Chain A
């Protein structure tokens, strides 16, 4: 059965989630990337959106206005989450955000933030921007439009948005860190075998 999280997300919704679990999101999803993070953390500006119990998406979408003058989501793929590593722990603390979605893993600081404030990081499959756009029911608002289309905080109503693979859970376990260690462990013996067969210079 699909596990679906609904905003506002409560601590108990996330308590049993483990890294590697797959979930979907229904409710409100706000795009939030480099500059919005910097404005809150570095410049101490107040966010124009209340994110308590909320979900953010590291993404810079393509949005168009239809004939009725409403915004329409064309394409919304995840961007590399690691760029936000510098800010995320503090961001989680100050906003009370519960679900951070992006591409690739995040580092030890974010893992700490997730453990301390009971939040999770999840991965939406990279390159699947049209699939994601079809899961956005409508755009409910757009804040900080002065930042331009990719950096604007787009407030989306989403329905079963996903798959979202939990990469950091509320215990601070980090899937990408564990995988990396596994790859590095396997690498040595494989390389030894290859090297024994490519001594072309004699």
Chain B
């Protein structure tokens, strides 16, 4: 056997990992769903939670994608400036998407805009979507893979409030999105909120927020308090699994924020469905890796 080049090694791992996360939920999401299920007292909701658990068991056993909608593939990259394959990452992740599409198999979910043709490969202009953060002086790379399904992407919304609307306006916005469009996004949802300066910065942060563990909290005390208030408030609505009512509505609410212009509050919401398929993997400079999101994985 000829030895694989570093690019081949990393492509191979990312192909398998991308395919893997479509079949098994991350440890935190799995734990949270089990927790919500154990606290559920509504009979119908319990039947639904049982079906969800049975589905994940069957997907694991039969080695199939757990939901037929394996989404558009997005990679959120936090990479050290000294990571040896920094310049090759784009090509590696594109090929990993191509490979995972065959390996999964993943549904073909990339429709080229304006041509309105499905590329049949899950790749297309700027897809897989790559989001970059470069860390000075580091030589490792952390990659979050996310499968953005249609149902859970649909509620996404972003706007810019006037400061007079305040954080009160942020709460209104989050509730409006979740109660109107979130219901069809396969709740219990993980709700990501971006509080920032403009529409697109808030939108990006809202997506980064749902990459954070479900029970994590914002480091700022006021933001953390708002996360808790929104989470408890949404749960009180009792949207329940599939919007069919129950004791919970969400797995959590995560806020990410940045400084803002004194005259604007950019706010956005991204939602993850109960089948929140994301994975986090860390590569060291020698391409040894740790999977941070899932326990006990062999790729």
On A, residues with C-beta under 8 Å from B are 20, 22, 59-62, 74-77, 80, 82, 103-105, 123, 125-131, 133-134, 163, 165, 175-176, 179-180, 182-184, 186-187, 190-191, 193-195, 197-201
Contacts and interface: CB of A to CB of B under 8 A. Distances in A.
Interface stretch (B10-18, B44-52, B80-88, B208-216): B44-52
A168 B215 CA distance: 36
Contacts of A194: 171, 229-230, 233
Nearest to A104: B184
Contact of B166 (A123, A128, A176, A200): A200
23 contacts: A62-B105, A75-B64, A75-B65, A104-B184, A126-B273, A127-B273, A127-B275, A129-B67, A129-B68, A130-B59, A163-B48, A165-B47, A176-B243, A179-B243, A180-B179, A180-B183, A182-B245, A186-B237, A187-B175, A187-B179, A190-B233, A190-B237, A197-B229
B interface SS class: helix
B68 A60 contact: yes
A123 B58 contact: no
Contacts of B245: 179, 182
A165 B242 CA distance: 10
Given A126-B151, A179-B244, A199 B168 contact: yes
Interface in B251-299: 273-275
A interface SS class: mixed
A17 to B, nearest CB: 14
B242 A191 contact: no
A190 B51 contact: no
Contacts of A105: 243
Given A165-B244, A190-B233, A76 B68 contact: yes
B233 A163 contact: no
Given A77-B69, A131-B58, A183-B179, A163 B184 contact: no
A80 B64 contact: no
A199 B166 contact: yes
A107 B170 CA distance: 30
Given A183-B237, A191-B233, A103 B44 contact: no
Contacts of A62: 68, 105, 107
A127 B243 CA distance: 13
Contacts of B170: 198
A134 B166 CA distance: 50
A194 B231 CA distance: 10
